[in-house]
């Protein structure tokens, strides 16, 4: 499979303008930026995340090793592949580079075909990892987090909110009569219902922390640092807006949602307790249909 690298963003960090000019020429088919020192490099990645960093080791002030260490400490930048650049082939430097999280080590003077090949290889690996991450963590139909991602992220969030004594509100949302919609109108309409629901949540709930699909017609949403009344008001507006949606123009195909709500209590030992209370409230809401309980 041929890959278009023209949009791949590469950041070059080198204090020698002559070295930068060489790399800019060799990598002219990529989207390349360059900076002359470590501090500028850290600022540049915050402004726009690159797909790859080519990082000179020996620079005045902050050297390449320190830049890499800081990149790997930051959750936002820790997965960016770093290729070290150096005039030295000293084994200790190479080992240190890999220990700090570098993915490769290129020595000067550069061989044109070699550096392009190494850059392309690590960009391909980066793209592959992104695809695998999406397959593992994103619901294919809706484009939001899947069950696995929800539990991984929200279990950590639960512990953080409990330690800081910060509010955590959780909603389990069920599309009413979803099986009937599929059976009556077909699965393509059912898919449209799911997509319309997800789109409406994104437009109407600006403050959610995590939004995930747990199963076919069941979703979960969390909010933090918000009062219970504020969270409830947002979800009531969502519920009201959902019932106004027409899935197919000129046809009266509509749907509603039922919502179970719970909040983090001091006595909660884990996320499961929060989910269990929301699930009980959802059961009550579904008895009424198109309702919020909690």
pLDDT in tens, 35-79: 999 999 999 999 999 999 999 999 999 999 999 999 999 989 999
The C-alpha atoms of residue 52 and residue 123 are separated, in whole angstroms, by 7
Residues 156 and 85 in one domain: no
Is there a domain that residue 139 lies in?
no
Residues 46 and 117 in one domain: yes
Residues 99 and 153 in one domain: no
Both tokens assigned to 129: 């990892």
Both tokens assigned to 226: 């918000």
Q: How many domains does the chain have?
A: 2
Is there a domain that residue 218 lies in?
yes
Residues 169 and 249 in one domain: yes
| Burial label, 292 (beta-carbon count in 10 A; 0-12, 13-18, 19+) | buried
Residues 167 and 289 in one domain: yes
CB-based contacts of 13: which residues, under 8 Å, 6+ apart? 34, 35, 36, 37, 38, 40, 41, 53, 54, 55, 56, 59, 64, 67
Query: Where in the sequence is the domain holding 53, given as residue range(s)?
Result: 9-134
Here the CATH number for the domain that contains residue 72 is 3.40.50.2300
Residues 85 and 207 in one domain: no
Radius of gyration of the chain (CA): 25
The C-alpha atoms of residue 55 and residue 85 are separated, in whole angstroms, by 6
The C-alpha atoms of residue 179 and residue 34 are separated, in whole angstroms, by 55
Here the CATH number for the domain that contains residue 187 is 3.30.70.270
pLDDT in tens, 278-288: 999 999 999 99
Residues 158 and 277 in one domain: yes
Weakly modelled stretches of the chain, pLDDT under 70: 1-2, 249-250
Q: Residue 102's closest CA among 65, 73, 154? A: 65
């Amino acid at each position: 499979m041929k890959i278009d690298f023209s949009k791949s963003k590469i950041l070059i960090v080198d204090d020698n303008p002559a070295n930068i000019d060489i790399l800019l020429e060799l990598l002219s088919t990529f989207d390349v930026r360059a900076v002359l020192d470590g501090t500028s490099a850290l600022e540049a990645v915050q402004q726009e995340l690159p797909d790859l960093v080519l990082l000179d080791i020996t620079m005045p002030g902050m050297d390449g090793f320190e830049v890499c260490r800081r990149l790997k400490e930051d959750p936002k930048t820790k997965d960016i592949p770093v290729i070290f650049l150096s005039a030295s082939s000293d084994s200790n430097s190479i080992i240190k580079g890999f220990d700090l999280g570098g993915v490769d080590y290129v020595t000067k003077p550069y061989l044109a075909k070699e550096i392009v090949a190494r850059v392309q290889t690590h960009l391909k690996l980066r793209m592959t990892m992104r695809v695998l991450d999406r397959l593992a963590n994103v619901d294919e139909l809706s484009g939001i987090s899947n069950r696995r991602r929800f539990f991984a992220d929200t279990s950590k969030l639960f512990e953080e909110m409990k330690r800081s004594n910060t509010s955590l509100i959780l909603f389990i949302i069920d599309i009413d009569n979803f099986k009937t919609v599929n059976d009556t109108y077909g699965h393509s309409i059912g898919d449209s219902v799911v997509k319309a629901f997800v789109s409406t949540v994104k437009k109407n709930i600006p403050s959610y922390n995590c939004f995930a699909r747990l199963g076919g017609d069941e979703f979960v949403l969390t909010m933090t640092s918000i009062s219970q009344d504020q969270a409830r008001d947002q979800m009531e507006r969502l519920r009201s807006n959902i019932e106004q949606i027409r899935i197919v123009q000129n046809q009266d195909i509509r749907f509603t949602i039922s919502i179970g709500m719970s909040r983090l209590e001091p006595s909660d030992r884990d996320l499961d307790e929060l989910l269990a209370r929301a699930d009980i409230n959802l059961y009550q809401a579904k008895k009424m249909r198109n309702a919020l309980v909690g």
